[in-house]
C-alpha cells in the first residue's frame, strides 16, 4: 500500500491547475442513461472514482471511452443491456446511486445496490426513495438492493426534501426530465454541481428552471438528445490548494479558480489573515502578514462553508494564533483526522460534532494514517508546514478525489514524494 512522504520546506511559489469537479462529473456521467444519443464531457478529472463510475455504466451496457489522457469522456447508452447495478461495483462509491433516477425514468425499472464510500456517516438513501415515490415509483428494499419500478412511467410531482441533499437533488433532477408533467422540488440543494448538471441537461433538451436556488422546476419532455459539456472547476480541490500557501507561506495562483465557487471559504480565509485575489486566470493566494489568526467554522450546505474543506481548514488552524472552534453539521464521524494531527503536535479536543483547536507555533513531522479522502490531504498540508518528515499511509483514499497531487504540489516547491510499499 502506497504512502506519501512530506518534508516541511518553507514558502511555496507558482501556479497549480485545478481539475474538473469530481462530484460534478460523477453526476454528469449517469445523465448519459437518459438518452440514446452520445454525451461527451470535457475537463473531466482523472480519478479512481471516475473509473468506478465508468465501470458501472459499462456494466449496464453503456459505451464509455476515455480520450485525451482522460480529460474527455465520450459516452453512449443507445443499447443498454441491463438495469441492475451490482453490489460489487456500487459498494466502492456512494455516487453509484445516481444511476437510479435515470434508469427509472428511461426504462421504467431498476435494481440498484445500496452504495458504499467513505466511512464518514450513514448517508441514507431514504431521501432519494421518498422523492421518487412521490413521482409514482414503487421501491422495495430486498437483499441489499433497491428494486424500483413504475406503472406507466414517472409522473411530475411537488416534493419537499427533508434535507437539502445533493445526491437526492441530482437523482430527482435527472428522473424528472423524462417524467410526464411538471416536477417542483423544494428544499433542493444549491451547490454549483447541481447547476452544472442542470446546464448539461438543458443542452440535452431538458426544461429546467431554478437550479442554484432551493426550488427547482422541471417540465418533463419525451426524449433527450446528445450534447457536449465541460465539467465545472472542482471547488474542493480549489479550496485545498488555496490552503497550501496559507499554511506554508508564499504565493500560489490556482488556475481556473472562481470566487463564486468558494465564497464562504474565502470569507474565513480573509478573517484568518489570508489574501485572495482574482486574476484573469484564476485566484492568487498569499498570507497577508505574520501568523494565521484563529477563526470559528461551521459547516453548512452551499453557499455555506463546505464540509469537504473542514479537515483541510483544521490543518491550517492547528498553527493559528488563538483558539478556533469547528462545528461539523453535515456528517458525523468527520473528525477522524484530529487524532492524527495530534500526533504531529496539534492541540485538538473533540466533543461530538465540535472540535476545539488551540494553535501551536510549530507542528512536528510524524507517521500518520489517512482515514478518508479529505483527511488524507489535510495530513499532507499539515506535513508541508511541519518540522521534519511526515509519512502519510493509506493514501489510496487520495486517488478518489485528487489527481496528480504530488506533481501539483512539487510544481510550487513542496518537498513531497509517493512511495510504493508493494
26 and 11 within one domain: no
Residue list, annotated binding site for phosphoenolpyruvate: 22-23
SS3 assignment, position 44: coil
DSSP letter string, 373-421: HHHHHHHHHHHHHSBSEEEEE-GGGGGGT-SSHHHHHHTTT-EEEEE--
pLDDT tens per residue, range 232-291: 999 999 999 999 999 999 999 999 999 999 999 999 999 999 999 999 999 999 998 889
Question: What's the domain count of the chain?
Answer: 2
Residue list, annotated binding site for UDP-N-acetyl-alpha-D-glucosamine: 94, 123-127, 308, 330
Going by C-alpha positions, the residue among 173, 70, 73 that lies closest to residue 131 is 173
404 and 336 within one domain: yes
Task: Report the C-alpha gap between 295 and 318 in whole angstroms.
Answer: 11
Domain end (from 178, 202, 230) = 230
304 and 225 within one domain: no
Determine what percent of the chain is predicted with pLDDT higher than 90: 85
331 and 403 within one domain: yes
335 and 350 within one domain: yes
Sheet holding 72-76, edge to edge: 63-67, 72-76, 39-42, 227-230
Is residue 273 a contact partner of residue 296, using CB atoms and an 8 Å limit? Answer: no
385 and 243 within one domain: yes
How far is Cα of residue 356 from the mean position of the Cα atoms in its chain? 25
pLDDT, the chain, mean? 94
pLDDT tens per residue, range 379-391: 999 999 999 999 9
Range(s) of the domain holding residue 268: 3-19+233-419
Residue 126: which CATH number? Answer: 3.65.10.10
Domain end (from 199, 230, 261) = 230
Domain end (from 230, 265, 296) = 230
Sheet holding 354-358, edge to edge: 297-298, 323-327, 354-358, 347-351
Specify whether 254 is catalytic: no
263 and 159 within one domain: no
257 and 379 within one domain: yes
368 and 353 within one domain: yes
Q: Which one-letter DSSP state was computed for residue 213?
A: B
Among candidate residues 25, 118, 248, 266, the one labeled active-site is: 118
56 and 13 within one domain: no
Amino acid at each position: 500500500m502506497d504512502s506519501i512522504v512530506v518534508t516541511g520546506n518553507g514558502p511555496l511559489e507558482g501556479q497549480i491547475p485545478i481539475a474538473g469537479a469530481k462530484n460534478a462529473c460523477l453526476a454528469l456521467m449517469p445523465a448519459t442513461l437518459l438518452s440514446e444519443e452520445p454525451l461527451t464531457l470535457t475537463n473531466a478529472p482523472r480519478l479512481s472514482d471516475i473509473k468506478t463510475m465508468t465501470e458501472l455504466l459499462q456494466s449496464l451496457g453503456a459505451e464509455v471511452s476515455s480520450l485525451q489522457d482522460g480529460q474527455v469522456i465520450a459516452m453512449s447508452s443507445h443499447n443498454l443491456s441491463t438495469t441492475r447495478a451490482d453490489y460489487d461495483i456500487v459498494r466502492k462509491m456512494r455516487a453509484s446511486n445516481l444511476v437510479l433516477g435515470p434508469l427509472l425514468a428511461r426504462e421504467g425499472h431498476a435494481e440498484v445496490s445500496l452504495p458504499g464510500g467513505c466511512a464518514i456517516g450513514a448517508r441514507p438513501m431514504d431521501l432519494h426513495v421518498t422523492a421518487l415515490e412521490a413521482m409514482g415509483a414503487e421501491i422495495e428494499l430486498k437483499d441489499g438492493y433497491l428494486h424500483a419500478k413504475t406503472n406507466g412511467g414517472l409522473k411530475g410531482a411537488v416534493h419537499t426534501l427533508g434535507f437539502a441533499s445533493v445526491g437526492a437533488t441530482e437523482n430527482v433532477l435527472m428522473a424528472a426530465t423524462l417524467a410526464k408533467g411538471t416536477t417542483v422540488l423544494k428544499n433542493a440543494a444549491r451547490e454549483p454541481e447541481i447547476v452544472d448538471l442542470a446546464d448539461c441537461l438543458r443542452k440535452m433538451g431538458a426544461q429546467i428552471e431554478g437550479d442554484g436556488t432551493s426550488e427547482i422546476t422541471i417540465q418533463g419532455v419525451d426524449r433527450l438528445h446528445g450534447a457536449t459539456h465541460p465539467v465545472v472547476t472542482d471547488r474542493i480541490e480549489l479550496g485545498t490548494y488555496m490552503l497550501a500557501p496559507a499554511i506554508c507561506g508564499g504565493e500560489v495562483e490556482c488556475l481556473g479558480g472562481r470566487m463564486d465557487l468558494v465564497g464562504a471559504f474565502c470569507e474565513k480565509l480573509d478573517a484568518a489573515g489570508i489574501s485572495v485575489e482574482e486574476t484573469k486566470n484564476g485566484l492568487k493566494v498569499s498570507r497577508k502578514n505574520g501568523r494565521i489568526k484563529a477563526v470559528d467554522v461551521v459547516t453548512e450546505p452551499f453557499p455555506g462553508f463546505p464540509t469537504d474543506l473542514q479537515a483541510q481548514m483544521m490543518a491550517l488552524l492547528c498553527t493559528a494564533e488563538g483558539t478556533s472552534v469547528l462545528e461539523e453539521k453535515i456528517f458525523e464521524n468527520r473528525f477522524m483526522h484530529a487524532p492524527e494531527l495530534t500526533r504531529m503536535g496539534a492541540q485538538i479536543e473533540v466533543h461530538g460534532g465540535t472540535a476545539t483547536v488551540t494553535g501551536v507555533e510549530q507542528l512536528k513531522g510524524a507517521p500518520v494514517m489517512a482515514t478518508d479522502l479529505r483527511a488524507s490531504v489535510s495530513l499532507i498540508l499539515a506535513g508541508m508546514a511541519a518540522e521534519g518528515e511526515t509519512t502519510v499511509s493509506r493514501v489510496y483514499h487520495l486517488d478518489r478525489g485528487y489527481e496528480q497531487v504530488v506533481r501539483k504540489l512539487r510544481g510550487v516547491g513542496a518537498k513531497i514524494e509517493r512511495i510504493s510499499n508493494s
